[in-house]
Every structure is written in structure tokens, then in C-alpha cells.
Amino acid sequence: MPPETVDDPDLTNKGVLAHLGTMGIVAVITGLLVGGLAIVPAVGTRLAADQVSKTVKEMPSDLSAGPLPQRSVMLAANGSVLATFYDSQQNRTNVELDQIAPIMQTAIISIEDDRFYSHGALDIRGTLRAFVTNQTSGNVQGGSSITQQLAKQTLVSQAQTAEERRAATAETYARKIAELRHAVALEENHSKKWILNRYLNIAYFGDGAYGIQSAAQHYFSVDAKDLTLQQSAMLAGLVKNPVGFDPTNNPDQALQRRNIVLTRMHELGRIDDAQLAAATKSKLGLKVTPNRNGCVSASAPFFCDYAVNYLLADPALGKTREDRQRLLQTGGLTIKTTLRPAFQDQTDDAVQDHVNPTDQAIGAMAMVEPGTGDVRAISQSRPMGRDMGKGETFLNYVIPSSLGDSAGFQAGSTFKVFVLAAALEQGISPYTAIRSPSPITLRQNDYRTCDGPYTSSDTYTVSNSTKSPPAPNLYSGTQDSVNTFYVQLEQRTGICDPYKLARKMGVQLTDPDREQVPSFTLGVPSVSPLEMAGAYATFAARGMHCDTKPVTEILNAEDKVFKKYDDKCQRVMSENTADTVSDILRGVMEGGFGSALQNGKPTAGKTGTIQDNKAVWFDGYSSDIATVAMVAGANSKGTPITLNYQNVGGVYAGRAFGSTVAGPLWGDAMKGISQYLDGKDFVRPTRSQSSTTSSSDDNASAQSQDDGDDQGDDG
């Protein structure tokens, strides 16, 4: 490569600047084509010269040389790429000059500015040569130096509005002069190597590829450092006309242009006869990697969507949501997520195997790691997209409404665990038996909220959907999901403690007037699968709740830590309470509704079915992972409908239950990841509380209430 010197004293930056005004006069008089701009002869050349001199003096001394916008990448926990993010003009990954193949550097200099290392900001010889060629041959040959091109591309890159972009590319006298002045400043303040490096990072190579690294990866699936002679020549030829020479759309033109570059390299003595002959005979050899932008093209679209919404809600990324979006698309961030591809594959398969995209139902799953809150997988049956005929949607049904547009779903009897845990925390023995006839009618004002007695004189009638012992305790009442047992247990605990405990466990309850109702234990509040997975993970972590998170760390464009997302955990119940809940819920798996779903390792779980069977749930966990599966009846617009007597996944549902419709999703996914689970058993609880039996007669009265109570049929 030629030495980094300027061999013409009269063409140094100071010389260019000193003669810029004179050049403007000459341009006006002669119609000289300066950098591709024809300045037409005009009357009043003195005035034109004055304007040139004034323009030169008023120009800023330097063009901002801040970091170039570049795409961000989102990675799975194993380092594989989930998604990339960039705005419409910034699909770029910056690389240092030593990460760009020397032959690529030679190729671009040969075709764009072969005297790059021998002149200053303006190559007058090249400009005059281009002018003469254009006048005599009828062809248009550019005369702008690489530094001038860099100045122009920088202005384009920094443009924030359509008007600014038009101004940066306008074929006007003022713009060309401004461009040259910026080029002079670049040469004065930076080395030739810096200029070449930045030019190769900023240049547009067509088909959405900005910068040499993105171009190399897009067209040839290689890094810029590994480009060959033929590949380098093709890429170097693109910058003159990225659209016209785009090899994916115009392969013949791209091949001709590549060979022109090779011929020019040979004329300059930068490749020999044998290299020229071999290279010009070769095919383009494209190995195109499609450009992927955003979550639609991500390998886990709805996990990606969750992570993006999580980041856009984080003030650390910017003052406003727009600032955070801009950083995500242009900041060159590396976003390390919690997603485990093996887990994601299994939840995807389970959902797709049991619920079709166009069914009048939605299947959704979430997996959360106990003790960290790391979200390992998120899946739903409706793909991401706009084609409603294919069942596509942009609604993320798995995540909380605070991070998405879905309103959530009632959770049915999966909410009984909050009353169960609150009762144990209050010292109620797990062997406490309560007579639980079906149906049973209770006075609503016998329940206490956080503000005192529930303010209603109405009564509340509840019935069971399955046979159960006449006086179940916390074990059998949970295993058989006895509604009449749990509404009485909730009378003893009050609504307040279970409600507050659910919130501490990650359930986003925000409307106490509607949520602190006697039917709370039957799952009236609307929640998401992710919230419930985070809550059930608390039991697996022996009472330690960790906020769910999709991201562990963000690196900036220099690979320095931008932000770490540490585990946010707090104890919300005693270890023995959590251990007792796990012991009770394992009974659901061993002899209750979840017995058909076991994967050979210790698990615990709970079914849930809401009123009119509009949604069914199975929430369960091992010591390693908490998994929630939900299937909800919904039309193409997401409006809730009953699951009963529908075909779901090609199977006639009959009457839908948590164990029969949601349970198979849970079971398949848990079996699929069983090889990654250590199979550690739950800690057995200590036994210190005595058994009691009590009558429900003093709690009963008559008449039903209308506050939207759930009487889902569990099973």
C-alpha cells in the first residue's frame, strides 16, 4: 500500500483552502465540473467569487466525527443471534482497519481514488481528468476523492429528517463547497488510515448493507477480514451505484462492474496478469445471508418482543421511549438475554403441536428459572405478523399488559396457591380440615380486604366440579381443587394477605376494588402466563421471589458494559411455607389432575379452569424451572370465547379442562427439557402444626353474588 504522504505541495489542505475561492471563480467562468457538480457560467462572476469566499469563511472548521450509527444485536444465553435491530439506513457493524482485508482496501482505493495517499482533500488531477473525460466521451466519471465522499456520507448519516437528508444530497453549489470544506477539515484532523477506515464503515454497498462488514456478511457470509480478491472487487464496485450494481438484483451488471475494478487494479500494478485472468473468469460466488431486522424475523419473535419492551421501559437507555428506541437501532449494542434455545424449541414445539395458529384459541407458554427470575422461553400459537388469515398477530399474549397490548386472562384455580401460602404463613396447619359441601352459600361481608370487611351484603354461592372428601384438608383440598374448601379457607386468611402475597410474587395486581373480591382464590384477576410462571418459581426457590427478566447485560459499541441486570430477589415467605406448598402441589402430580404429565423427575403443579371454560391453565415447576401453559378461547381478533366443543390443534376438546387441554403442552415441554434438569427433589417440610376440623355451618347463608366470580371446573 502506498505510504501515507502527500506528494504535491500545492495540493495540501492549506493549499486547497487558500485557492478554494479562486476555484469557485474559475468554476463559474469555465463551467468546470467540481466533484460531479456543473457550475454553469453566469454573469456577475465578481459577485459569485465574493459569495464563494464568504461561504468558505463561514463554514465550520470540522465535521463531527462521532461514532457511526450501527445495528444492535440480541443474543441468546448461549451466544447465538436472536435478532438484529437497525433503522432503515443503518444496517452497519463497524470494524477497525486491521479487520478489513488489505485486498479490500486496495480495491476500493484503486477504483474510487487511486491517488488517495498522494493528495489532500481534493484531487485536482482526478477532478480535471473526470471533467475532460465527461466532456469528450459522454460518460460520467466521478472526481470526488474518498475524503470528499466521506464528508458527504457523514452529512447523510447524521441527517435526522427527510429535509436534512435532501439537503445533504442536493446537487447545489453551496452543498459541494461545504462538502469540500468538510473534507479539508477531515484531512487536517485525521490520518489517511482513519479516513479510509471510516469511509469503508460508512459507505453504502446496496441491498440494505451499510459498511464493509455488513456487506461482506450479507453478500458472501464472511467477515470483512476474510474477503478475497474477487469479493473485494465486487464490493468496491458497488459504491458508485449500489442499486444499479446490486448483485442480488442485477448480477450481470455487478459482474461487469467487478471486472472493471479488477482491470483498474491491474492497470495500477496492484494485481498481476495471472490474478487478473483467474479473477475475471470466476463467477460472483454469492452466498447471501438475508438482512433481518427486528423481532418479526427473530428466531424467538415473542421473547424478542418481550425483551425489547423491557428495554424500552428502562430509563437507563434514554430519557424518553423515542431516545431508547434510537439507541437500540443505532447504538451498536450487544444485548445478552436469558433465553435458552433448547427450552425455547421445546415450548415452541409443544404449543405448535397442540394449538394451530388459526384455531379459535390461543396457546401460550412461559418458563422462568427459580432463584434468578431469568425467563428461559416464551411461546405462543399465533405467529408474529399481519396476516390474520394465517392467524398472525403482533399481540404478545404471554407477557404482562404493562409491557404489551394483551389484557391478560383469568387464571382460575391456579390462584388458590396464594391463599394456600398465606394460610400456612398465618400458622394454619396443612392438615386443617374444613367441611366443604357443594354447593355452599357464603356472606360476602364475612370476607376482609386490606381496607376492612368486603362492602357487600350479598351472598356468594360456589360449587365443585368434582367429587371430593366431605371435609378436605389443605392437601386433599388442593389435590382435588375443591372450590368450596378454598372459598372458606380464604374467609379465614382474609383476602388481603393472599392479595399482597400474590403481588410480592410478581403478579401485577393494580385494581384492588375489582381484584380484592371473595372470588379472588378462584382466579378472577386477569394475568399473563409469564406472571404466573414467575409466581410459581417462588415456591421452587423456597420462598425467594426474583423479578422476571429477559436481559442479563448490555454491551456498548466498544464492547464495554453499558448495564448489568442483576437478579432482584427478596424473601416473601418462609422456606417451610414454600416447602409445604411444594409438598402439597406434588400431590397434584402424583395422584391428582397432573398425574399423566410427570416426566420422571420431582414436579409440582396446579390446574386452572375459568368460568365458561374460556381459558384453561397448568402451572407447575421442578426445582430447576417453573413452566406455565395456558390455552384460551379467542376469535381472530382476540376476543374471549369458550373452548368447549371446539377443535383445538385438530382435536375435539369437548369440555375443556386445565389437565386435558393445557396440561399436554406443559407435559410435552417439561419432558423435552428433562435432560437439562438435575432432578433434585424438593425439601420436605417440617411438621409442627396440629390437625383440626371445623364446620362450615357458621359461615353459610344463601343467595349468589354478581361480581364476576369464577366457578371454573377444575380438572
CA dihedral 209, 211, 214, 216 (to 10 degrees): 100
Confidence at residue 90, expressed as pLDDT on a 0 to 100 scale? 78
Answer whether residue 301 shows pLDDT above 80: yes
Mean pLDDT taken over the chain: 86
Give the DSSP per-residue string, 441-453.
Answer: EEEGGGSEETTEE
User: 714: helix, coil or strand?
Assistant: coil
User: Are residues 74 and 337 in contact, defined by beta-carbon separation less than 8 angstroms?
Assistant: yes
What is the spatial distance between Cα 25 and Cα 52, in angstroms, rounded to a whole number? 8
Residues in contact with 489: Cβ distance below 8 Å, sequence separation at least 6, in sequence order: 419, 420, 423, 428, 434, 474, 477, 521
> Are 71 and 92 within 8 A, CB to CB?
yes
Contact, 498 vs 581, CB < 8 A?
no
Model pLDDT, residue 372: 98
The sign of the dihedral angle between the CA atoms of 663, 668, 672, 675 is positive
The count of other CB atoms within 10 Å of the CB of residue 451 is 11
Identify the CA nearest to 419 among candidates 497, 321, 304. Answer: 497
Identity of the residue numbered 286: L
Q: What are phi and psi of 374, to 5 degrees?
A: -65, 125
Note whether 448 and 494 are within 8 A (CB). Answer: yes
Full-model pTM: 0.82
Strands 647-648 and 626-633: unpaired
Using an 8 Å Cβ cutoff, are 107 and 236 in contact?
Answer: yes
Cα separation of 213 and 221, whole Å? 10
- Closest listed residue to residue 355, CA positions, set 51, 694, 683, 646: 646
What pLDDT score does 531 carry? 98
Instruction: State the pLDDT at residue 54.
Output: 52
Condensed to tens digits (0 to 9), the pLDDT of residues 255-287 reads 999 999 999 999 999 999 999 999 999 999 999
Q: Which amino acid is at 101?
A: A
- Is the CATH number 2.40.160.60 carried by domain 9-58+89-281? no
Q: What are the tens digits of pLDDT across the range 455-480?
A: 998 999 999 987 888 999 999 999 99
| Domain ranges within the chain, ordered by starting residue | 9-58+89-281, 412-524+690-715
pLDDT in tens, 158-182: 777 778 778 777 777 777 788 888 8
Contact call for residues 209 and 91 (beta carbons, < 8 A): yes
pLDDT in tens, 419-441: 999 999 999 999 999 999 999 99
Q: What whole-number distance in Å separates Cα of residue 364 and Cα of residue 398?
A: 6
Task: Name the pLDDT band for 48 (thresholds 50, 70, 90).
Answer: very low
User: How many other C-beta atoms lie within 10 A of the C-beta of residue 552?
Assistant: 17
